[in-house]
Amino acid sequence: MSSYTPNKKCMRVIVSLLSVSLITVQALATDISGIQGPNGVFNIDPSQAVNGIGFRHYENFHLSEGDIANLIFKYGEENVSKFVNFVDNTININGILNTMRDGNFYNGQAIFVSPNGMVVGASGVLNVGSLSVLTPAPCSYKGFTQDMEKYAPILSKPGTPEYEAAMALKGDGTIQINGTIMARDSIELAAKDIAINSGARLLAGGQEFGKSTALSSLEQADKLFNQLVKNGTSSGSSFENVDGSIKIVSHGTRNDGVTVAEGATVQNFGKGNTQLESVGSAGVNVDGKISNSNGNTIIKSEQGININGSLKNNNGTLYLENNSAGGIVIGKLAELTNNGITRIKNAGSSGIKVLGKVFTKGGDTIVYNSNGGVNIESTGTIENTSHKLNITNIGKGGINIKGFLKAHGIDLRSEGSDIEIGDNSANDFYVTSDGDININIVDGSLLNYGVAKTLLATKNGGNLNINVIDGTIGKNDNPCDNGICTGVDGRDLKRSINANIDGTYTAVTSKFSKANDLTINLAALDSDMKLNYINADGRVILYAGSALKNEIAYDILNASKDASKANIEGYGISVLATGDIGKLDNRITFNATKSNVNKINTNSLTNKPVSDTYGVDMKSQKGSINIKGLSDAYDTHVCNLIANNGSINAEFSGDTFIENVSAKKDVNLITRGTEMYIENIGSKDIIAENINIKVLDINDRTRINHTDLDGYDGYADSNLVIKNMNTNKDSNITLTGDNVYAGGYHFHMGKDRDENGKSYWTQDDRTSISNSETEIRVNAVRPDDVKGIGKDEHDRNYYGGGSIQDDKVPGYEDEGDDHIIVPEPTGDTAPTAPTTPTGDTTPTGDTIPTGDTTPTGDTTPTGDTTPTGDTTPTGDTTP
């Protein structure tokens, strides 16, 4: 039998303490059943051993402050590696307990089994190789003590089927740690309720340089603890960590759980895991500090996890899982740091709430919530400095981001609820990715909380990809008075999804079971908007500019990855930019899928050819507009098309109705459809220098072809109507079509020519021009007009025969486009009523005019259209 005797100085300290506090010491005198402790040192041998496992039975195990208990890992001459201690009553450790062999510290496993649990006082120190504390049910415990030879080996091997069967019945014993546990290897605590109280210190996997130390005083214990911590945290430490682990499990079902109080420390320097588990209603509460140097840190609860302290994990997974009731709360003072994968999973009805900080590097951050919602509060941050962040919510509470998400790639997914971003604090740039942001929502919407701030941002070419089924992206902005268009006088940034994206924008809303307007409302703040593909089963509302009023121009650009898809597709489309909308050599493509246009009634031009509830409006405050209708399947109703200081270069796919169009430089409009009807060109403040409009009638859908394709009704027969033009005397106007109604004239350029086959004009006072001296040139459609937009010249027929002006103006017949110019050189037209201004904007930017095409001659007629609709004449002019 081996023993450890303290030195004379330590003995003098113990004697002194005994003499000073005799009454207290007598009340709390050490009582270890069957063991005598001369001079306060209790050497405890196994009463029996089997296969290297010693064991002993006690009625009481109470170690007073200042006393020392040495568990001797030797049975006679036989060495033992594990020592199982069966204790009937509550175990109380207020002194120092060492694991010893042959007078020295020994790295043995001390196992305490008591149905009444354990209390380690503030002065208590367990200096062990490993420690296990088990609290079985009393009936199970009775069986253990009646056959210790059988059960001691079983209880020393947790995780085996025999162990699980033996410990199936749990007792009501609790564990309270107020003092220190230092284990060179592992710590395992299992009880109804476990409290690691303020001032408590648990350390596992701690190694010393040189010979391990047996303790005889609290001063020694403090010194050793600090040395082990220093060794464990030093990057230059020479020792190799053991497979240390910490496992703390509460099996109580009511107001029981695991608590690591503020001021408590749990540290694992081994290679194993640190694990806290609870099934009781108190859940797991961490207000203190938990750190793990090398393994995984796992916190599991059936009824809630509350963290308001710190969790630090290195080279492993940090895993929080709540399975049944309650939720996961990462409090305002909490800081979770991990070098590895971070997983947070909740099924409790209270969801996940983050008020503190979650930092990850070296692995992904994965958040999964199936009940309640995910709430990143204003003080909360989830940040991954090296990998992706993935948040998935299938609960009904949505994902609500008031704090910050930062990562190298962010994926947000919600089913059955919304994702809402923003708050009323000073926060801005809520979701920031050094990579792509991917947002997928089913049966929910992506919403702005109601703030004019940047919600989403990417760096280093990161793209924004949003896909929403049965929901919206932002909210519909307030439409114009007629409800058809959104308007371009400004944007309510509290309704849009505001972003600053270094890469491209891709956004889709689609219907599965909902019939409402599934709007996409996106704003690029203080940045350009590079469009890949925006497609809505509803309105599309886009803005590029600043949250504050300034003079910086930001563009909306074509960055398509698939040219077969339009940059913008929606029932109605509204685009506003401080800079350009598209570039002349890379136009924004669009499809307005529910922008229907009726046929023009040429007998009465007063009826506007509109029958829809969705329209298109676009405005560039400081640049130009360069757009193209992509699919021939759609007509276009334009409410406003405005370039305050630039040009407009627009190609439409089908029949087109434009309420107002104005640009400071050039207005170049083309439609592939049969008809274009324009209410107003220009305003009192914005008058174009050049106007060039062509109606080509090359869209088979809009052209009315009769069975007899060689007959009169089979011929191309486009109509261009411009009700009012605001012009200067020097404005250059060129109009191309088969029938043109403009400036107080009807120009017959197609199949309805005079008896000599020449183009001609007649007075028609149903249209007007503000300045009667403005020269209007009207051309017949020619193959170069069609080829000029990349189409086949055989898509329509062409009309020839010359112009009625051939003989009046020398050289006209040489141009071959059968054109007409008014006023003729022989006289001026009388001015008609001015047009109504369409509104003011600040001038910016310009584009290159497209000019006129070269006439090419005639072809065989190929089709026709039937005129429809009437309007009331607006005034007379004299040719």
Q: What is the pLDDT of residues 362-419, one digit of tens each?
A: 999 999 999 999 999 999 999 999 999 999 999 999 999 999 999 999 999 999 999 9
Q: Is residue 815 part of a domain?
A: yes
Across 651-666, average pLDDT: 96
Say what the pLDDT of residue 701 is. 84
604 has a pLDDT exceeding 70: yes
Plot region of 138 (φ>0 → left; ψ -120 to 50 → alpha; else → beta): alpha
**CA atoms within 13 A of residue 749's CA, in its CB half-sphere:** 32
Q: Give the domain extent around 209.
A: 8-234+241-295
The CA distances from residue 295 to 107, 241, 246, 264, 268, in Å, are 21, 11, 10, 21, 9
User: Pairing mode, if any, of strands 117-120 and 91-93?
Assistant: parallel
**SS3 category, 26:** helix
CA angle 673, 679, 684 (to 5 degrees): 135
Residue 857, phi-psi category: left (phi > 0), alpha (psi -120 to 50), beta (remainder): left
Q: Does residue 721 fall inside a structural domain?
A: yes
Q: Which two tokens stand for residue 425?
A: 């604090």
Decide if pLDDT at 8 tops 90: no
Tell whether the model's pLDDT for residue 542 goes beyond 60. yes
| pLDDT level of residue 442 (50, 70, 90 thresholds) | very high
Going through 315-388 in order, the beta strands assigned E by DSSP cover: 318-322, 327-330, 335-339, 342-346, 351-354, 357-361, 365-369, 373-376, 381-384
- For residue 348, give Cα distances in angstroms to 319, 345, 352: 16, 9, 9
pLDDT of amino acid 3: 37
- Cα–Cα distance measured from residue 267 to residue 276, given in angstroms and rounded to the nearest whole number: 13
Is 473 contained in some domain?
A: no
Reported as a single tens digit per residue, the pLDDT across 789-833 is: 999 999 999 999 999 987 665 555 556 778 899 997 554 443 343
Would you say the pTM of this structure is higher than 0.85? yes
Residue 846's pLDDT is 40
CA-CA distance, 391 to 343, in Å (whole number)? 10
- Asked if residue 493 lies in contact with residue 526, where contact means CB atoms within 8 angstroms, the answer is no
Query: Average pLDDT over the chain, rounded to whole?
Result: 88
Q: How many domains does the chain have?
A: 2
57: confidence class by pLDDT, cuts 50, 70, 90? very high
Looking at residues 459-463, what average pLDDT do you find? 98
Q: Decide: 276 and 248 in contact? Cβ < 8 Å.
A: yes
What residues contact 203, with CB distance under 8 A and at least 6 apart? 180, 181, 182, 183, 225, 228, 229, 232, 265, 267, 268, 269
422, 451 in Cβ contact below 8 A?
yes
Confidence of residue 357 (pLDDT cuts 50, 70, 90): very high
Query: Which is nearest to 523 in space by CA: 490, 550, 552, 549?
Result: 490
CA 189, CA 820: separation in Å to the nearest integer? 99
Q: What is the pLDDT of residue 812?
A: 56
Half-sphere exposure of residue 254, counting CA atoms within 13 Å on the CB side? Answer: 1
Q: Is residue 665 part of a domain?
A: yes
Weakest mean pLDDT among 221-230, 574-583, 848-857: 848-857
Contact 233, 225 (CB under 8 A): no
Which of 1-10, 247-256, 439-448 comes out lowest in average pLDDT? 1-10
Which residue, 539, 540, 508, 502, is CA-closest to 524? Answer: 502
Query: Is 435 contained in some domain?
Result: no
> Is position 167 within any domain?
yes
Question: Would you say 467 and 555 are in contact if contact means Cβ atoms under 8 Å apart?
Answer: no
Cβ burial of 830 (10 Å; 0-12, 13-18, 19+) is exposed
Residues 654, 658, 663, 667, CA torsion sign: positive
Question: Is pLDDT of 678 > 90?
Answer: yes
Q: What's the whole-number mean pLDDT along residues 192-207?
A: 95
Confidence of residue 702 (pLDDT cuts 50, 70, 90): confident
**Is there a domain that residue 115 lies in?**
yes
Asked which of 797, 822, 847 is the last residue of a domain, the reply is 822
User: Does 657 reside within a domain?
Assistant: yes
CA-nearest of 619, 691, 702 to 656 is: 702
With 60 as the cut, is the pLDDT of residue 236 above it? no
Give the integer Cα–Cα distance in Å for 845 and 860.
Answer: 43
Choosing from 780, 805, 822, the residue where a domain stops is 822
Last residue of a domain, one of 822, 842, 859: 822
Q: How far apart are CA 620 and CA 554, in angstroms?
A: 10
| Average pLDDT score over residue span 855-874 | 38
Does the CA dihedral 232-236-242-247 come out positive or negative?
positive
Cβ neighbourhood burial of 337 (10 Å; 0-12, 13-18, 19+)? middle
Give the side-chain half-sphere CA count within 13 A for 683. 18
CATH of the domain at 30: 2.160.20
